[in-house]
Structure 1
Amino acid sequence: MIKDSVFAALELAEARRAERRRFLKLAGAGTAAAGGLALLSACGSDNNNSTTPSPTPTPTPTATGSVSTDVAILQLALNLEYLEAQFYSFAAFGRSLPEASLTGTVGTRGGVTGGRKVTFSDPIIASYAREIAADELAHVNALRAVITSVSAAQVIHQPAINIDGGATGAFSAAARAAGIADGNGEFDPYLNDDNFLLAAYLFEDVGVTAYKGASPLISSAIYLEAAAGILAAEAYHAGLIRAELYRRGSEARVKANKISDARDSLDGRPLDGATDRKDLDQGITATVSGAEVANIVPADSNGIAFSRSTLQVHNIVYLTDAAKTSGGFFPAGTNNSIEALRTSGDFSKAS
C-alpha cells in the first residue's frame, strides 16, 4: 500500500513536470508568434487599400527595463515555494527535495533544519499531503524554469530553512506567539494529523495572499501566467486545509484562529506611518448574528481575497513585526537579487 502510494505520488509529479514543459513550450511559441504578428501588422499598415484589421500581437515578455521587477517578484515567490515544498516533502515522504531543484547563482545555498515524515492516522490526510508535496515541488521547478528563461544567472539558491518543531525551532516560536504551544513551549508539526494541518494552514494562507499582492505588479503576460497558475493551485491547497481544520472540531478551530491572530499581529503593521494596525487576516470561523459559522474563504465583502506586500510576507516568515532581514523560518533571510526587497514593500526598487 505504501509502495503504491509512493508510485502514485511520483506519477503525479511527472504529470506536473509534463505540464510545466508544455507551459514553457507555449511561452516560447508565444514569443516567436508575436514577432511574426508584429511583422504582419507592419506590412498591413502599409497597404492603404486593406480593410482587414491588423492582427493583435500575442503577449510577450516585456523589455529589459521591467523584466528585473518581474524576476524579483518570481524570486520572492521561489523563496516561499522552497519553504513550503521542503515542509511537505518531509511531512509526506520524510525526505528533502532533490539537490538539482535547490541550486542557483543568487544568494547563499542553505540547508534545512528539522523535518521528518508524519505518521498519519487518516489515510485521506496522508493522500492530501502527498499530492500537495508533488504540487509544491512542481512549483519550485516551474519558477526556476521561468526565471531561467529570462536569465539563468538570476535563479536563486534555496536559502537556509528552519522547519523544526523543537524548542528552538521556527514552528515552536510561531506556536508560542499564537498561544498554541505545548507545556514545554514546543509545537511539533510532524506529531500527528492535526499538527500537520495547523502547520500547513500557517503557510498556505501566506502563499495565497503573497501571490495575490504581487501578481498585479508583474508586467509580462507570460510571467503573470505562471504566477496566476500557481496562485490558483495554492488557493485550492489553502481552501482544503481550512476546510479540514474546520471539520475536525472546536479545538482545531480555536488553534487555527489563534494562528490567524498571530499572523495578523505581524503583517498588520502600518506601512504609511499610521499608528493603527490593519486587520488583514481571518480565521476559519466567523460570528454571524451571535452564531459561529464557517469561514473557509478569507475574503472581503466582495468575496475577494486580500493581498499582502512583500514586507508583510517577510514579517510573517521571519516571525517579527519589525523590518528585519532574517529570522523564523528563514534564519539567514531570503535570497533575492534585490537586497532591498527583503524589507521593503515597494517592488519599484527592483527596476
Structure 2
Amino acid sequence: MGVTPPLPLPECRPILAVDRDLVQFALNLEFLEAEFFLHGALGMGLDVLAPSLAQGGPPPVGGRKANLDPIIRRIIEEFAYQEIGHLRAITESVGGVPRPRLNISAEAFAAFFNRAMNTTLSPPFNPYANSLNYLLASYVIPYVGLVGYVGTIPNLLAASLLGVESGQDAVIRTLLYLRANEKVKPYGVTVAGFTDRISEIRNRLGRCGMKDEGLKVPKQLGAENRTTSNILSADADSLSYSRTQPEILGIVYGTGDESRPGGFLPDGGAGRIAMRFLAT
C-alpha cells in the first residue's frame, strides 16, 4: 500500500471564495504595480492620470520619478499604462475596491533588500537612483502578481491579465539577464546574485516551498535539465509556479504572515479576501 502524502499547510492550499472576490484580490497587486511604474516613469500616479480607479483610497507613500535611461523609461511607461488598463478591466468586470495604502518609498525597498541580502546595505538600496536599481526593484513585484494569477481561477479575465503580467516579468528578467554578471554598485554583488537573494526571500516569506528562482540556476533546475539560464522562472516541466492568496500577502507584507500587514501594504490589502485574513 502506498503512503498517503501529508496535506499541505493551510496557507499553501487553494482558498474557498467566489470568483468576484478572487479577481478583486488581484487589485492589490495591480495597484502596487501601477503606482510603482507610474511614479517611476512619470513622477505621478493614479490620482493624476485615472483618479476614479483609486475609489477614494489614500495616495501611495514615497513614490517618485526614477533616474532612468530613455529606453528603460519608455518600457516602464508602457507597463504603467498597461496596469491602468488592468485596473479598469477588473473594475468594470467585477467592481473595484478602494486602493489600499501603499508604501513604495525608497525606504520600503531598502528594508526588503536588506532582508533579502541578510545585511544592512550601505548606502541603503534606492530603487529610484538609476535604471539597474529600478529593474531590480521591479523584479520584486510583477512576478508575485504573475504567480498569483496562475493560482487564482480559470477565469477568462484572469487569463487575459496573466498574459500581460507574464510578458512584463519576462521583459524585466531579460533586461536583468543581459547584465547578470555586472556588479551592482557600490555593493559588490552581481545582478544574478541579487535576484537569487530576492527569490530566496520570496520563497521564505511564501512558506510553501520553492516557487521562485533567480536568473541563473544549476542545470538540474534548468529547462529539461539542459540550461543554466533562467529568464522564465518555471518548474521542472517548464510550467509557471502558482501561489495562493495567503502566500502572496505574506510576501508583499514582508512578514510571512497573511494576517500581519507591513512592507508595501502597511495597513493590509483591500477586498474581502485580504480583509478576511486581517480579521483572524
> Which range moves more in the overlay, 293-302 or 224-233?
293-302
Is it true that 1:101 corresponds to 2:53 in the alignment? yes
Residue of structure 2 aligned with 1:160, choices 67, 80, 101: 101
User: Which secondary structure state, in structure 1, belongs to the residue aligned with residue 218 of structure 2?
Assistant: strand
> Which range moves more in the overlay, 95-104 or 229-238?
95-104
Distance in 2, matches of 1:342 and 1:171, equals: 23
- For 2:103, the aligned partner's letter is N
Distance in 2, matches of 1:202 and 1:343, equals: 27
Distance in 1, matches of 2:120 and 2:165, equals: 26
2:116 aligns with: 178
- Normalization by structure 2: what TM-score? 0.83
User: Which secondary structure state, in structure 2, belongs to the residue aligned with residue 113 of structure 1?
Assistant: coil
For residues 71 and 325 of structure 1, do their structure 2 counterparts lie closer, same or farther at Cα, with a shift above 3 Å needed? farther
Aligned residues: 247
1:147 aligns with: 94
Distance in 2, matches of 1:90 and 1:96, equals: 6
2:242 aligns with: 307
Distance in 2, matches of 1:259 and 1:73, equals: 26
User: Which secondary structure state, in structure 1, belongs to the residue aligned with residue 217 of structure 2?
Assistant: strand
- Deviation, structure 1 residue 110: 2.4
For residues 341 and 225 of structure 1, do their structure 2 counterparts lie closer, same or farther at Cα, with a shift above 3 Å needed? farther
Residue of structure 1 aligned with 2:194, choices 238, 251, 255: 255
Residue of structure 1 aligned with 2:173, choices 228, 239, 242: 242
1:87 aligns with: 36
Distance in 1, matches of 2:42 and 2:23, equals: 27
2:185 aligns with: none
- For 1:254, the aligned partner's letter is G
8 Å contact 1:284–1:296 — kept in the other structure? yes
Distance in 2, matches of 1:181 and 1:187, equals: 9
- Deviation, structure 1 residue 336: 1.2
1:124 aligns with: 71
- Deviation, structure 1 residue 262: 1.1
Q: CA RMSD in A?
A: 2.1
8 Å contact 2:147–2:240 — kept in the other structure? yes
Distance in 1, matches of 2:40 and 2:125, equals: 14
- Deviation, structure 1 residue 322: 2.9
Distance in 2, matches of 1:234 and 1:103, equals: 23
8 Å contact 1:314–1:342 — kept in the other structure? no
Distance in 2, matches of 1:77 and 1:343, equals: 19
User: Which secondary structure state, in structure 2, belongs to the residue aligned with residue 253 of structure 1?
Assistant: helix
8 Å contact 1:325–1:343 — kept in the other structure? no
- Deviation, structure 1 residue 323: 4.0
Distance in 2, matches of 1:88 and 1:189, equals: 11
1:115 aligns with: 63
Distance in 1, matches of 2:120 and 2:81, equals: 29
Cα offsets for 1:159-209 (capped at 9, x unmatched): 10000013xxx211111111176314x221111001110111100110110
8 Å contact 2:249–2:257 — kept in the other structure? no
Residue of structure 1 aligned with 2:231, choices 266, 277, 296: 296
8 Å contact 1:85–1:136 — kept in the other structure? yes
Gaps of 5+ in 1: 1-67, 149-154, 217-223, 271-277, 345-351
For residues 229 and 129 of structure 1, do their structure 2 counterparts lie closer, same or farther at Cα, with a shift above 3 Å needed? same
2:152 aligns with: 214
8 Å contact 2:180–2:215 — kept in the other structure? no
Cα offsets for 1:242-275 (capped at 9, x unmatched): 11101013221111111111111101x25xxxxx
Distance in 1, matches of 2:29 and 2:244, equals: 13
8 Å contact 2:110–2:126 — kept in the other structure? yes
Is it true that 1:225 corresponds to 2:161 in the alignment? no
- Deviation, structure 1 residue 325: 3.7
Is it true that 1:138 corresponds to 2:85 in the alignment? yes
- For 1:131, the aligned partner's letter is E
User: Which secondary structure state, in structure 1, belongs to the residue aligned with residue 152 of structure 2?
Assistant: helix
Gaps of 5+ in 2: 1-16, 182-189, 221-225
- For 1:227, the aligned partner's letter is A
8 Å contact 2:143–2:169 — kept in the other structure? yes
**4+ long deviations beyond 3 Å:** 341-344
1:340 aligns with: 276
2:213 aligns with: 282
- Deviation, structure 1 residue 215: 2.2
- Normalization by structure 1: what TM-score? 0.66
For residues 136 and 323 of structure 1, do their structure 2 counterparts lie closer, same or farther at Cα, with a shift above 3 Å needed? closer
- For 2:25, the aligned partner's letter is L
